[in-house]
Amino acid sequence: MEWSQTAQEKWGQYWVIKSLLGTKVEWLYYILQAFNSGDLVRYQELCHVHNAALRAQPALVENEKKLLEKINILCLMEIILRFSNDTVLRAY
């Protein structure tokens, strides 16, 4: 799933999140980016790659199910929005 230019620009405005870049927790930046965009596949890939680091965070482990539910909803919203932008819906 690709980000629109506007979403990329808006994400770049979050200096607190961007401050993660170049640190030992840079992986969190990319997970948040995938989460924010509803990119479920990328989120799952990153969670797999950084599993040990994620497991070291009690709050993330404790809320893993809720986070997965939320990203599934965000992913569905992205699909619906993409569909509505690509297709003209007509009321009959």
Note the pTM of the prediction, 2 decimals. 0.72
Contacts of 25 by beta carbon, 8 Å cutoff, 6+ apart: 53
pLDDT at 59: 95
What totals of helices (H) and strands (E) does the chain contain, helices first? Answer: 7, 0
User: How far are the Cα atoms of 42, 81, 92 from residue 88, in angstroms, in the given order?
Assistant: 29, 12, 13
Domain spans of the chain, in order of start: 5-86
The dihedral through the CA atoms of 42, 43, 44, 49 has a sign that is positive
Average pLDDT for 36-64: 95
Whether 32 has a pLDDT exceeding 80, the answer reads yes
